[in-house]
Amino acid sequence: MNDEKGQSAAERETKQRSLAELGAAVRELRETKNITLDEVSAATCIRRNFLEGIEAGDFSGFKALTYARGFVRSYLEYLESPELWEEYRLQLTLDSFARDAAAQGKVSGVKLPARSGARAMAMQARGFRHSSTRRNLILILCAAAAAAGVLVWYNWSSIGGEISRVQQQQALDQMKTRQEEQSRYDEQRAAEEQEVVRQNAAQNGGTAPDAAAPAESVSADVPAAPEAPAQPPAAETPEAAVHVPELTIRATGSCWLRITRGKTSLYEGVAGRGWEKTFSLSENIDVRYGAPQNVSVTLDGKKLPPVGRGVTHLEYRTDGSVRKLAK
């Protein structure tokens, strides 16, 4: 039994490759993946001369076995070849490292550093390039920007709804302010007209005529003129018929509208999704939109260009044209 174990161990030992052969295998693996030593150095922060020593199987340039094993393992992890590490772990030992260093005439004896705890953590790894403060700051800023972007994306629906609500409230407030200004202007104008009528009546020495007073009835002694027989209306010909365009406004989301024809208010208020109304363009129609991105407008079934964004005031004319007015 013991003879079999010893024989198998001896066979495994004879099958083990040397450090130079393992280094050649690492170089061949790197070249197969079309990776340069500079790219490996940039990715692993291991200097190029140490990488060349690993591929040549020459570890005389390493100050300690700990660094040599650590660099080899980092290099193999980058190449995604953990199976080679098992061979290196058996070959790259304290004895082989000491023999290699003594053969080069650089180190007479190698001892592992007996450091532990905070002192070992504070010791800088020789051969690694130290990261700069500027690069760390850039990485922190990039991470913060990415976190902020993810937060905004995750809460975008609620943020968009709040923005839409604020825009609608602002539009309603502006509309109410304009209505109050118009009411004050109408009252002032009516008062001025009444004052002018009173001044004219005072200058003429009489009272102002009452426009609301009924007209004097016709004297009963005067015979009324006979009424002319009603003429039948003339039949309309196809040439005389005039096409009146029809304007259709449909809400695809929450918005507010103020629609007037002259001084007549056709609609005023907040419209929800699915609201739709059609108006005849026998006269020009003024439409004030709040949140117009949620509105679709068609003229005789033909879709018009989007209204835009923000508070918008448009005039739809009887000839089918559209004119933008001041807000």
pLDDT in tens, 15-69: 678 888 888 999 999 999 899 999 999 999 999 999 998 898 888 888 888 888 8
**Residues 6+ away with beta carbon under 8 Å from 93:** 65
- State the span(s) of the chain assigned CATH 1.10.260.40: 9-107
Tens digit of pLDDT for each residue in 55-111? 988 888 888 888 888 898 898 899 888 888 888 888 788 777 776 656 555 443 444
- Residue pair 297/283 in contact (Cβ under 8 Å)? The answer is no
* pLDDT for the residue 155: 86
φ, ψ of residue 81 in degrees (nearest 5) = -135, 70
Nearest residue to 256 via CA among 201, 213, 295: 295
Instruction: Tell me the two tokens of residue 27.
Output: 């170089």
Tens digit of pLDDT for each residue in 194-244? 888 888 888 887 555 554 444 444 444 545 555 555 665 555 555 456 788
User: Is the pLDDT reported for residue 279 higher than 90?
Assistant: yes
**Residues 6+ away with beta carbon under 8 Å from 287:** 249, 257, 258, 259, 313, 314, 315, 316
pTM of the predicted model as reported, rounded to 2 decimal places = 0.32
Calpha distance 195→187 (Å, rounded): 12
Calpha distance 147→137 (Å, rounded): 15
Nearest residue to 44 via CA among 100, 128, 132: 128
* pLDDT for the residue 285: 93
Whether domain 9-107 has CATH 3.10.20.600: the reply is: no
